[in-house]
Amino acid sequence: MEKVKEKKETDEEKDVKDTDKGPVMEITHLSKGFDAKQILKDINLTLNKGENLVVLGKSGTGKSVLIKCIVRLLEPDKGKIKVFGKDMSALKDTELNDMRKKIGFLFQHAALYDSMSVRDNLKFPLRVSDKTDKEKEDLVVEMLESVGLADAIDKMPSELSGGMQKRIGLARTMILKPEIILYDEPTTGLDPVTCKEISNLILEVQKKYKTSSIIITHDMECARTTSNRMVVMKEGVVVAEGTYKELQKSEDEWVRSFFE
């Protein structure tokens, strides 16, 4: 048993080393507020290639606002977000759309188009691609198989459970083969077994498609399973950064309280 544990730790260390291939995303001095309330205050973050970066924090600390700023669903008030060396705020509409295809986004409640079947949901992001119908269909089947839901292809979103919707949402995110994936609370509202399945799926996706990810969560099990590195946010500020183990032994009591 100990040996297995040791081996797992070695794998984790290897994974961390693998991620050390330079940043794919750099966030510098990012601030965002709504009316008088400042949500993000001078955030500085780097996401390395192949890395799973978990952003941890209590509800309302601005975690979701952070990833919405990355894809410009929200416009930052201050600061820069560079993805693959390009300043996101300087991109024109067409460039922004091209860049967004390289950044997958899994929404908290999957955000499946409820008037479309699972097949059409997955095909939707491909509508502007040059692929033939046959290629699109094959890709849809491949993605559904990768999330273990090939049988659900003709179902409507309302016929799926919460966990299944998350998986389909992930398949739809993956269909454009993004290099970066942003997960907004991927395990929220799911039972522990499904949470574990989703966490393992995130790891599988990282290994299979060599993606870099930012995972917003306050589910510690998900954070433990998926993270290569973690940052902890408190009231719009990054207060701690390190691996799961490092943060577990943090001197800051508030940070440690997440792990208890």
d(CA 157, CA 143): 16
Residue from the set 47, 51, 76, 105 that interacts with other proteins by CB under 8 A: 105
Please enumerate in sequence order all residues whose Cβ is within 8 A of that of 77, keeping only pairs 6 or more positions apart, or say none: 31, 32, 33
Quick note: the x/- pattern for other proteins over 176-215, rule CB under 8 A, is: x---------------------------------------
Residue from 140, 158, 113, 127 nearest 149 by CA: 140
To the nearest whole angstrom, how small is the minimum distance from the Cβ of residue 14 to other proteins?
Answer: 32
Stretch that binds other proteins, among 9-17, 110-118, 141-149, 207-215 (CB under 8 A): 110-118
Asked if 90 contacts 76 with a C-beta cutoff of 8 angstroms, the reply is no
Taking CB under 8 A as the criterion, the residue among 37, 127, 132, 260 binding other proteins is 127
CB-wise, 117 or 243, nearer to other proteins? 117
Q: Which stretch binds other proteins (CB under 8 A): 30-38, 121-129, 138-146, 190-198?
A: 121-129
| Residue closer to other proteins (CB basis): 76 or 225 | 76
Q: Does 254 bind other proteins (CB under 8 A)?
A: no
Instruction: Give the orientation angle of helix 133-146 with respect to helix 192-209, to 10 degrees.
Output: 130
Q: Considering beta carbons, is residue 47 or 238 the nearer one to other proteins?
A: 47
Instruction: Verify binding: residue 109, other proteins, rule CB under 8 A.
Output: yes
DSSP 42-87: EEEEEEETT-EEEEEE-TTSSHHHHHHHHTTSS--SEEEEEETTEE
Q: Which residues contact 202 (CB under 8 A, 6 or more apart)?
A: 52, 170, 183, 186, 213, 215, 222, 225, 226
CB of 75 to other proteins, least distance (A): 13
Helices and strands, counts by H and E, the chain: 10, 10
The distance of closest approach from Cβ of residue 114 to other proteins in the complex, given in angstroms and rounded to an integer, is 7
Residue whose CB is less far from other proteins, 160 or 232: 160
Determine, following the binding rule CB under 8 A, whether residue 125 of this chain makes contact with other proteins.
yes
Three-point CA angle 224, 229, 235, nearest 5°: 90
Taking the C-alpha atoms of residue 194 and residue 187, their distance in angstroms, rounded to an integer, is 8
Comparison of 156 and 176: residue with beta carbon closer to other proteins: 176
What are the residues binding other proteins (CB under 8 A)? 68, 71, 73, 97-98, 100-101, 103, 105, 107-109, 111-115, 124-125, 127-128, 172, 176
